[in-house]
Amino acid sequence: MAVKIKTKDGLIDISNGVIATVVGSAATSNYGVVGMASKNAIRDGFDGILNRANYKRGVVVKSEDNMITVDVYIIVGYGLKISEVSRNVQDSVKFNLKNQLGIDTKAVNVIVQSVKVLDE
């Protein structure tokens, strides 16, 4: 399923993989986010941190009309305020989706899969 944007010149299709890459990059750029987590860690048999090529495993995109809802699965650093880190991720994801892809978001849901100790 892709997001379709109508413009005066035609139709633009943006795949979920592209959206997941933008969302993953935006999420991991925030202080306190150790990395992306898999949304199906048990099924995937993988409970570690996802690398850039696998960001789509940690992002769920649902589109309605011309807006999308995004679920982001992250790992947060130990000792940090989870609500603040999550709010920063929401703001960053919304900003990057709007500026890079021109997509409006209905909601950005942040799911904290785990907490890990940050390396110093």
pLDDT at 83 over 80: yes
State residue 56's pLDDT score: 76
42 part of a folded domain: yes
Q: Cα(3)–Cα(5) distance, rounded to whole angstroms?
A: 7
Alpha helices in the chain (DSSP H): 16-28, 41-44, 82-96
Number of structural domains (the chain) is 1
34 part of a folded domain: yes
Q: Minimum mean pLDDT among 49-53, 61-65, 75-79, 82-86: which range?
A: 49-53
71 part of a folded domain: yes
Kindly report the CATH number assigned to the domain that includes residue 102. Answer: 3.30.70.1350
State residue 54's pLDDT score: 72
| Full domain range(s) for residue 67 | 16-116
pTM for the full predicted model: 0.84
pLDDT at 12 over 90: no
Classify 65 in phi/psi space as left (phi over 0), alpha (psi -120 to 50) or beta.
Answer: left
Q: How many CA atoms lie within 13 A of 1 on its CB side?
A: 7
Mean pLDDT of 70-90: 93
Are the C-beta atoms of residues 52 and 17 closer than 8 Å to each other?
no
101 part of a folded domain: yes
Residue type, 19: I
5 part of a folded domain: no
State residue 73's pLDDT score: 92
11 part of a folded domain: no
State residue 86's pLDDT score: 95
Mean pLDDT of 31-44: 76
